[in-house]
A and B are shown apart, each in its own frame.
Chain A
Amino acid sequence: MLTNKNLFFLIIQAQIGIGILGLPYILYNHVQQDGWMSLLIAGVLAQGIIIILVALSRSSPKETFYELNHRLLGNFLAKIVNILYVLYFISFSMLLMILVTDVINTWILHQTPRWAIILMLLIATSYIAKEQIVTISRAFLFFSFLFIVLIFLLILVYPQDIHFGRLQPVGSNSFTDIVKASPDAFVSLIGFELILFIMPYIKNPKTSLKVLSFANLFSLTLYIFLFITCVISFSGVQFSLIHEPLLYLFRGMSFQFVERIDIIFLSFWIVPISTTLVIQLFNASLGVQNIFSFQRKKSVYILAIILLCLGLFPISFSMKESLSSIMIYLNIIFVFIFPALLLIIAKLKGIKG
């Protein structure tokens, strides 16, 4: 059973991943130094959704989301919804894999073909995803060591050449602009939807809302800290040029023993990125298990093979761009709108946990 600690690490590992590399860049290009406000708004939005999701999952704490659908929507409709969810998770994983290989190809392994990286990624993640959720969460706890490393490295930026004034002027963008940028920030906070699928495994479901809120707060604080660190270290035009500000931040630092932390950091940051993929695979595999009544282990393998096949397709730059922009809306539909609807249905039907 998942203790509060396990749940916390599961959620932060699901939330923090590839997004952290590019998030400051996206925000800065929208609203410049006011990006942290967009982040805050996204955080509040995420908190609202967490409340909805927890309420929904609490309405029947012994069932996963897929089973809940069956009860609330009837078998036929539920099956369609479940398939859609599985497809959503697959496309999310797909986008993730594309982004990862992209970053790796530009920063470290320039010639390594995409399929090799994807293959590695899938072997490692499916090895983890096939385990039980408790094992996954305990492994994630160990991986969370990397967050400490990240925070430590970010603190090391401060003695460098920074200028706090770059945060000024505060609020130079209109409020609507700031709100408009928040969906981009919201994407990076995605991951807490996991709660819908692991409710039956949680030891004390009553505290889950608190744990989720803390996890969300942690991720949000980390993002804001990162964004502020980036703003104060990069000058305006420079910031708007750099795709992966986090890595560039580390590229500029050098120490006595290590000259290029960005390389080491990105190499090991693969781990938190993979954990996001693990969660997606886990969610999807539960769905496959539910729809086709396979063993979950087997469904993970099947999903991994599907993803590998998808990863072999050549993907153009424009396809990647359009996939990521579609994904923003899909996220909101699948993580926010649909569960909210379902909650209303559940309330109407008067189901209580």
Chain B
Amino acid sequence: MKNTFQKITLLLFVFPLLTGCWDQKLIVDQEVMNGVSFDLQDEKVKSTIVVLNIIPKGTGIFDFQNQITSATGYSIEETYRELRTYYTGPLSASKSRIVLFGESFAKKNLNSYLDFFYRIPDPYLGSKVAIVKGAEASDIFSLEEIGTNPIALGLYEIIDASESNSIVPKGTLNTLFTYFNEPGKDFILPVLEQINGNIRVSGAGLISNNAYSGKMLPIKDCPLLLLLMDDYGELTDLESYLNDEKKLNNQFSYRVKKSKRKLDIKKDASGKPMVNIHLDLKVIIHQYPRTEKISSKQIKKLEETISRDLTKRSQSLMKKTQKANSDVLGIGRKIKETDPIAWKALDWRKTYPSIPINTKVDVTIEKTGILK
């Protein structure tokens, strides 16, 4: 009897649960945005989203279709509310692969705009972020597909590839959140460009104080910058000219196998920081203008050439970042960590463009490929 009573009470407790399934979000009902882009239009935000629809065509065969919609408003939330009305189910950003900014939008303080992604737990923070040059960001989406991939996924892949090619450091919405709030450290974002109906990563956009500075580094300089940042990808290839002669078929290229960066900050008499960067690279020759034996004497010479070339280039690179006022190396952060008192006395935004930065690159050639 007692047992029956217990069971009945248990059931009484369990039955109310049957009314439940409060939070159910069936996969069928979900509408997920794959790509988002933001542009600035008449001092309003224009958000465009891509939702990938899958159309089944019999067992195992399907087709996809991008449903692209835009809305303008004073805040992202406002545009989102409008965008929601276009779709059949609850719209969520849990599968967004890419976030694009139009050039003019990127020049705003991005941190305050993206709060939408960080404050609620739904959105996916692994999305890649990029700036679109030369056109509205939303135009990119109208391409529909890249290769065989739907546009949003294709863009993700493109940026992913450029990360492994050391054009931009690994970055997602999540790392952005970190850097937005990091004093004394700026970052770079990939810049996308549409050329003849194809999209490519055309360089790295320097971000200064959470906004795009408008300055972009071309692709050939990017790997070096990443080496200086000590944040390079799997394949880091660079080129130099033989004997510094810029002519046809006089370039040799090399792949960085190992890199060691030393960042020294000293203070001069007036308390202004002075930065010395020393880069120690181990490279293998990747391509050489002539198919011939490279003697060890020649190797010595090549090492000198590369070192000289890279030192010069890195010098000018640092100048560029200073011009853009984008402390991508995190020199300010380093000062903050090692010398907090000095950091407090500095107005970094004003100081950074004017501090002297010396770079020195030393290169050792370890191998010459499979040919000697």
Contacts and interface: CB of A to CB of B under 8 A. Distances in A.
Asked if the two chains touch in their complex, CB atoms less than 8 Å apart, one says yes
B16 to A, nearest CB: 8
Contacts of B13: 119, 123
A254 B330 CA distance: 26
Interface residues of B, number: 30
Contacts, number: 75
Given A119-B13, A166-B337, A161 B125 contact: no
B23 A169 contact: no
Contacts of A252: 125-126, 172, 174-175, 177
Contact of A112 (B23, B126, B175): B23
Interface in B155-201: 170-172, 174-175, 177-183, 185
B252 interface: no
Contacts of B20: 112, 116
A234 interface: yes
A251 B121 contact: yes
Interface stretch (A102-110, A267-275, A322-330): A102-110
A236 B330 CA distance: 14
Contacts of A107: 121
Contact of B124 (A106, A112, A119, A259): A259
B182 A236 contact: yes
Interface in B1-28: 13, 16-17, 20, 22-23
Interface in B77-130: 94, 121, 124-126
Nearest to B14: A123
A293 interface: no
Contacts of A119: 13, 16-17
Main secondary structure of the interface of A (DSSP, over half): loop
B124 A260 contact: yes
Contacts of A259: 124, 126
B209 to A, nearest CB: 14
Nearest to A110: B23
B337 A238 contact: no
A207 interface: no
A20 B338 CA distance: 30
Interface string A230-268: 000111111001000000000110100001101000000
B181 A238 contact: yes
Contacts of A204: none
Contacts of B185: 235
Contacts of A166: 337
B178 A233 contact: yes
Contacts of A174: none
A254 B22 contact: no
Interface string B304-338: 00000000000000000000000000100110011
17 contacts: A107-B121, A109-B22, A113-B22, A161-B171, A165-B334, A168-B337, A168-B338, A235-B178, A238-B178, A241-B181, A251-B121, A252-B174, A252-B177, A254-B125, A254-B126, A260-B94, A262-B121
Given A112-B22, A113-B22, A163-B333, 14 more contacts: A106-B121, A108-B23, A109-B23, A112-B20, A112-B23, A166-B337, A235-B180, A236-B182, A236-B183, A251-B121, A251-B125, A252-B126, A252-B175, A259-B126
